[in-house]
């Protein structure tokens, strides 16, 4: 039977927290490092007299309490919040409304008054984060697969790893379903880097612990080659290198920014402009990017920093107003189109390409941007500026 949680993450812990070279869009040090759980031991509410959940307990195990006389006259939801402070009042209200709370053997109501002395019995529902690391039949587009690794073409909208707001339906859930116990036994089910939710394209996933360790080391050594296609405002230089440290934006904590000094981590992006056109009086371009590092939102931040924000990017918008895009395109126009690495098993050089997704291809056509990717050489070492 496949386990629904992942084991220890120690294989990639030091890499993720010290080097942070493992991500093309987001650093893995921002990922949860362990399976979330409620606190161990009995609940601290003074009126709890029965069983309580612990970190590894069955979520269906009932919680019980006898309401003290001091709560007489209080609404039930307020009384429950005092007895079970480990749970939010809104969660307790939801359990009442779902029929999971009994008061002296009768279904409880949120707004009913308590007299004191009643026995409360709650059958908790599992928290979303407690179900996060479970197998789910998430559709995955595998473009290469062997016993050591797999390469997937991630669609727009697919989250890589469970986190707040996205506890299910992620790439990790799909890997647990696809590979079963073998994936459950690996840190993060074999994930070694990740892409932002609204970025499409290629990702490599390890299928063995040895392969995962090797791929992490390759990411550190920069022998994993990650190349992106992006649609941007303006006409960037034909060939340029953006070498600027990235850190949390001090003025807006939900964003990243170029941060000079010790506030940022080294970040380097190589950029080549391959096509340009005009849209409603504004220049637009197709650029190809090669990552030497993998900071959070690196390409988006670097291109915005040099005045060429990605089309459709809701977070790193242009400094000046731009015309609306055709078809109401509303996500960052970024695609991880090519991935190269040394195979962990025999050290042979391998690379893969994923065609532009339909929405970006349609946008290019509407904008009048044309480029034949097949004209690029097999080796891109000399294509990008040093």
Catalytic residue numbers? 196
Q: H-helix or E-strand containing 303?
A: helix 298-305
Residue pair 16/193 in contact (Cβ under 8 Å)? The answer is no
Q: Alpha carbon 338 to chain centroid distance?
A: 20
The span from the CA of 252 to the CA of 263, in Å, is 14
User: Length of the chain, please?
Assistant: 386
Note the helical H segments in 154-276: 171-179, 181-184, 209-221
Q: H-helix or E-strand containing 271?
A: strand 268-279
| Sequence-distant (≥ 6) Cβ neighbours of residue 263 within 8 angstroms | 245, 247, 248, 250
Q: 3-state DSSP call for residue 57? A: coil
**309's tokens:** 């924000």
**230's tokens:** 């992006």
């Amino acid at each position: 039977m496949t386990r629904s949680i992942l084991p220890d993450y120690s294989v990639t812990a030091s890499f993720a927290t010290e080097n942070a070279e493992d991500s093309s869009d987001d650093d893995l040090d921002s990922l949860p490092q362990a399976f979330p759980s409620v606190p161990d031991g009995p609940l601290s509410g003074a009126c709890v007299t029965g069983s309580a959940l612990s970190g590894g307990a069955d979520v269906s195990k009932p919680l019980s309490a006898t309401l003290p006389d001091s709560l007489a006259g209080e609404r039930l939801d307020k009384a429950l919040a005092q007895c079970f402070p480990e749970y939010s009042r809104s969660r307790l209200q939801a359990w009442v409304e779902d029929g999971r709370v009994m008061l002296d053997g009768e279904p409880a109501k949120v707004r009913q008054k308590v007299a004191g002395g009643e026995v409360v019995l709650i059958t908790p529902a599992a928290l979303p984060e407690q179900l996060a690391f479970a197998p789910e039949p998430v559709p995955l587009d595998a473009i290469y697969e062997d016993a050591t690794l797999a390469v997937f073409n991630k669609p727009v909208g697919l989250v890589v790893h469970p986190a707040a707001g996205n506890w299910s339906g992620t790439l990790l859930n799909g890997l647990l379903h696809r590979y079963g116990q073998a994936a459950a036994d690996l840190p993060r089910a074999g994930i070694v880097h990740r892409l932002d939710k609204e970025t499409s394209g290629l990702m490599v996933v390890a299928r063995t612990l040895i392969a995962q360790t090797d791929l992490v080391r390759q990411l550190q050594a920069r022998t994993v080659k990650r190349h992106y296609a992006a649609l941007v405002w303006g006409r960037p230089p034909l060939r340029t290198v953006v070498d600027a440290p990235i850190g949390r934006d001090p003025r807006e904590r939900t964003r990243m920014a170029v941060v000079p000094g010790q506030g940022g981590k080294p970040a380097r992006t190589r950029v080549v402009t391959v096509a340009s056109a005009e849209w409603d009086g504004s220049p637009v371009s197709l650029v190809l990017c090669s990552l030497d590092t993998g900071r959070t939102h690196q390409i988006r931040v670097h291109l915005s920093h040099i005045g060429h924000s990605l089309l459709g990017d809701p977070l790193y918008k242009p400094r000046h107003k731009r015309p609306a895009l055709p078809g109401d395109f509303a996500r960052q126009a970024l695609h991880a189109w090519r991935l190269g690495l040394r195979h962990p098993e025999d050290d042979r050089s391998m690379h893969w390409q994923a065609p532009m997704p339909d929405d970006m291809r349609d946008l290019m056509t509407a904008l009048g941007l044309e480029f034949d990717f097949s004209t690029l050489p097999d080796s891109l070492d000399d294509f990008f500026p040093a």
